[in-house]
Structure 1
Amino acid sequence: MAVREFDDLPYARYLEDFSGSLTREGDYDTVHLRDAEFGDIDAGNARFLESALSSVTFNEGRYRRTRFNDVWMRSVRWVGTDLGETNWLHTDVDGGALAGVRLDGAVLRQVVFQGCKFDSVNFRAAQLREVTFTGCVLRAADFGEAALTDVTFDDCVLQETRFGRAEMKNVDLRGARELGLADGVAALRGATITRLQLLDLAPLMADLLGVTVADD
Structure 2
Amino acid sequence: MAPKIRTFTLPELAAGYAGDLSGGEYVELLRFANIDDPVQADDARAEECLFTSVALENLRNARLLQCELEQINAPSLNAAGAFFNDVRVEHSRFGSADFAEAELDGVVFENCKFGWLNLRQAKVRDVVFRHCQFEEIDFGGQIQRVEFIDSRSTVINCAGAQLRDVDLQGLDFTQADGLENMRGARINTLQLSLLAEDMAKHLGIKVAQ
2:122 counterpart (119, 126, 129): 126
Q: Give 1:189 shift.
A: 0.8
Q: Give 1:9 shift.
A: 5.4
**Corresponding position of 1:149:** 144
2:168 counterpart (154, 173, 179): 173
Distance 1:156 1:123, change over 3 A: same
**Corresponding position of 1:199:** 193
Report the Cα distance in structure 2 between the residues aligned to 1:158 and 1:202, rounded to whole angstroms: 18
Report the Cα distance in structure 2 between the residues aligned to 1:166 and 1:135, rounded to whole angstroms: 23
**Corresponding position of 1:79:** 75
Is the Cα–Cα contact under 8 Å of residues 138 and 161 in structure 1 kept in the other structure?
no
The aligned runs of 1:38-53 (5 Å cut-off) are 38-39=37-38, 42-53=40-51
Name the structure, 1 or 2, with higher relative contact order (CA <8 Å, separation 6+): 2
**Corresponding position of 1:185:** 179
Q: Give 1:19 shift.
A: 2.4
Q: Among the aligned pairs, what percent are the same residue?
A: 28
Report the Cα distance in structure 1 between the residues aligned to 2:67 and 2:37, rounded to whole angstroms: 18
Deviation per residue, 1:83-127 (Å, 9 max, x gap): 100000000011111112311011000000001111122211111
- For 2:114, what is the secondary structure of its paired residue? strand
Query: What TM-score, normalized by structure 1, do the two folds share?
Result: 0.88
Letter in 2 for 1:73: L
**Corresponding position of 1:92:** 88
Stretches of structure 2 lacking an aligned partner (at least 5 in a row): none
**Corresponding position of 2:60:** 64
Letter in 1 for 2:207: V
Is the Cα–Cα contact under 8 Å of residues 55 and 74 in structure 2 kept in the other structure?
yes
Report the Cα distance in structure 1 between the residues aligned to 2:203 and 2:9, rounded to whole angstroms: 52
Report the Cα distance in structure 2 between the residues aligned to 1:11 and 1:93, rounded to whole angstroms: 14
Deviation per residue, 1:21-53 (Å, 9 max, x gap): 2312111211101111233x6431110100001
**Corresponding position of 1:16:** 14
- For 2:173, what is the secondary structure of its paired residue? strand
- For 2:101, what is the secondary structure of its paired residue? coil
Stretches of structure 1 lacking an aligned partner (at least 5 in a row): none
Deviation per residue, 1:47-89 (Å, 9 max, x gap): 010000111112x4x3211001000111111221211000000
Query: What TM-score, normalized by structure 2, do the two folds share?
Result: 0.91
Q: Give 1:20 shift.
A: 4.2
CA RMSD in angstroms comes to 2.1
Letter in 1 for 2:202: L
